[in-house]
Every structure is written in structure tokens, then in C-alpha cells.
Amino acid sequence: MFLLNTWYVAASSTEVQDKPLGRKICGERIVFFRSAEGKISALEDFCPHRGAPLSLGFQRGDHIVCGYHGLAVDCKGHAAHMTGQNTNQFPSVKSFPAVDRYGFVWVWPGEASKADESLIPVMHWYDNPEWAYGGGLYHINCNYLLMIDNLMDLTHETYVHSTSIGQSEIEEAPVKTTFDSHTVRTSRHMENVKAPPFWQNALVAQGLPADGLVDRWQVCKFSLPTHVMIDVGVAVAGKGGYEAEQKDKASSTVIDFITPEDEHSMWYFWGMARQFKADDKDLTEQIRKGQGGIFSEDLQMLEQQQRNLVHWPERRLMKLNIDAGGVHSRRIIEREIALEKETRTAKA
């Protein structure tokens, strides 16, 4: 079950440049392509002529051309040209609202008439000279909700990421979870602790001592449909922690866009936006590689957790205080899916 009338990240903008990209999103096989002026379009990945995937074709002007027999389809999914044929009566394929924004391709898999670009969340760090961003993409064979659970409870860092960002103080610090009708916020603050290796490196990059005591924070923010933004950082102890001045801390925002492929697999767009040394491209790449390595440690756990839940479908998972972030996020998603279903039923 997925929320459909919403924007998901389907790709990074660089994945759709000279060539079309085929990708399954929420169970829909979709081809993404770019017009001559760079506008993104998304269509069912199915040529109306003989059913070949349009993603094996190529872009020509504002059309995507099927690589099998040359039917050109426009950005609305209408057959536009085929040598020797009158395409007026050709069937169309469904088009999906799609937008290129903040370095990502966003797609709306549900009812096109409801798509509203203003609903795409604002990424204030994008094209902002005070911020730098680096990220990547993982395909994971698990239901997307398991990834939301993962990110809304960072207790797992102590265990899964013990050599980089984990430390025992994480699980020892209490979490506080708050929520409203559309968002959830789980925060954890640790005071007077040693910084773990990843943050020691960040302190050094920021020109701060690596081995002194710090105040550390993790503030996980869920928003619909499946976004999790996490403010993370360390400040020299006693300087105000999360609220410390920029010069006394190393901080960043972990960006997580979670896109269902189908019920059993997902696309994970991960990244980090930081506000220190924003013009140091080498540092951006170094952080990107480090984060990519750390986040890859979750894959085996998530995929085997998925395999276990399929094996024992009747078992209920526990809902501890540390799980509250995921539990409330799931409730919001479930409620929205139910609302969407009601609307569809009422119409029918």
C-alpha cells in the first residue's frame, strides 16, 4: 500500500540527461525523459505500438522515440509521429506529473489532476552558497516502511554503525517524540560526550578540537509521504548544543527520500547538506563517501528483516518509546492511504 497522490523523488536530475530512464515507482513502470529545453516528462514505459519499453529508446526534440520501430511519443503520452503512419488514432500512454527541482526528478504517481508543484517541500539548502550537498542512491529489497522506522529511531547507530557514528550514549539518552497531523519529530540530545569518528573528522574540518567533550544532537523529522530530514551535529560542550553558534559546532542535515518501488523493494535517496566549509568540494566528496559507506551498513539488516517478516507474517512488532517516531509516521501514512482510498471509492 502506497500513498499515490503525492510527490516522490524518482531520480537524481543527473540520471535523466541524454538518455531516458526506466524506473518502477509505487508499482508503476515509468520512463523519464527530457525535452530539448530540459523539461522532464514521465510516461508509462510502454510503447503503444508493440509494447516495447520506451526507456530503450531515445530523446528527439520534445519526444521520446521508441527504439524498436520508431514511434515518437510526446510529453503527454500521445503518439506524435511514425514514419509512413498516420498516428492520429493511435492509443496514448498515461503520463505522470513530473518536475525537476532541487537536483531531483519528482513524480506524482496518482491522479494527475491533483498534482500541485507547490506541494513539493522546499529544500532551502539547494543552490544556496552557504550550503553544500552530496548524496547517492541505493536500491534496497525491503518495504519502504522499514526504512522510515530505521531513520526515525537512530538507536540502531550504536549497533549498526558502531565504528563511525555509533556510540553507547545514543541508546542511553532518552528520546522525545512529538507529532501533529502531518509530521513527526523525534529528538535526542547527548551532553558532555566524546565525538565518534565521523564527527571527530567534521570537528577537524571545522577547525575545532576533535577530542574534547561535545554536546551532540539528532533531530529526525518525518513528513509526507516518506521524507525524513535529520538535523545532526556536535558542538563544543556548553556552547548551546543544537542552538550553538555556527562557529562552535559541526552540523548538517541528513536528507532521506524514500521511494517505494513495489511492496518488497524501494529506492533510497540519501545525502547530507551541510552549512560549514560549503565551498570545499573535496570535503563534500569525502563526506559523501563516508556517508555512503555508513548507510550501506543498513542494507543487509533491512533486507533480512524484510525476509523475516515475510517468513513470519503473523508476528506483531513491538512499539517501544524509541519506536515512537516510526509508529507515528506509519499512522500518518496509513491514515492518508485510507483517505485516498475512500475518495476513490466515493467517486466510483
Which residues are near its own copies by CB under 8 A? 29, 45-46, 48-53, 56-57, 65-70, 83-85, 90-91, 149, 153, 155-156, 158-160, 168, 171-172, 174, 300-301, 304-305, 307-309, 311-312, 315, 317-318, 320-323
The cell for 337 is 492511504
Find the farthest-apart pair of alpha carbons in the chain and give their distance in angstroms, rounded.
Answer: 76
Q: Tell the smallest beta-carbon distance from residue 247 to its own copies (Å).
A: 33
**CA pseudo-torsion sign 299, 301, 304, 309:** negative
Closest approach, Cβ 184 to its own copies, in A, equals: 17
In the bound state with its own copies, the residue whose beta carbon lies nearer, of 160 and 220, is: 160
- Cell numbers given for 175: 528520546
Task: Give the whole-angstrom CA distance, residue 217 versus residue 158.
Answer: 14
Q: Which is nearer to its own copies, 67 or 292 (CB)?
A: 67
Cα torsion 43, 48, 49, 50 to 10°: value is 90
Nearer CB in complex with its own copies: 298/340: 298
**Least CB distance to its own copies at residue 347 (A):** 21
Sequence letter at residue 151: L
Q: 79 or 132: whose CB is closer to its own copies? A: 79
- Cα separation, 226 vs 1, whole angstroms: 13
- Give CA separation, 183 vs 119, 152, 278, 333, in Å: 14, 12, 29, 10
Interatomic CA distance for residues 116 and 7, integer angstroms = 9
Question: CB of residue 146 vs its own copies: minimum separation in angstroms?
Answer: 8
Residue 170, CB half-sphere, CA atoms under 13 Å: how many?
23
In the complex with its own copies, which residue's Cβ is closer, 82 or 99? 82
- Which residue, among 314, 347, 343, 316, has the nearest Cα to 330 in the 3D structure? 316
Of 67 and 121, which has the nearer Cβ to its own copies? 67
Shortest distance in whole angstroms from residue 345 CB to its own copies? 22
Instruction: Report the nearest approach of its own copies to the CB of residue 155 (Å).
Output: 5
Please state, in angstroms and rounded to a whole number, the distance separating the CA atoms of residues 54 and 77: 11
* Closest CB to its own copies among residues 82, 210: 82
CB of 114 to its own copies, least distance (A): 24
Q: Which of 84, 108, 79, 86 is nearest to 2 (CA)?
A: 108
Shortest distance (Å) from residue 58 CB to its own copies: 9
Q: What is the CA radius of gyration of the chain?
A: 22
Q: Which long-range contacts (CB under 8 A, 24 or more apart) does 78-85 make?
A: 79/48, 82/49
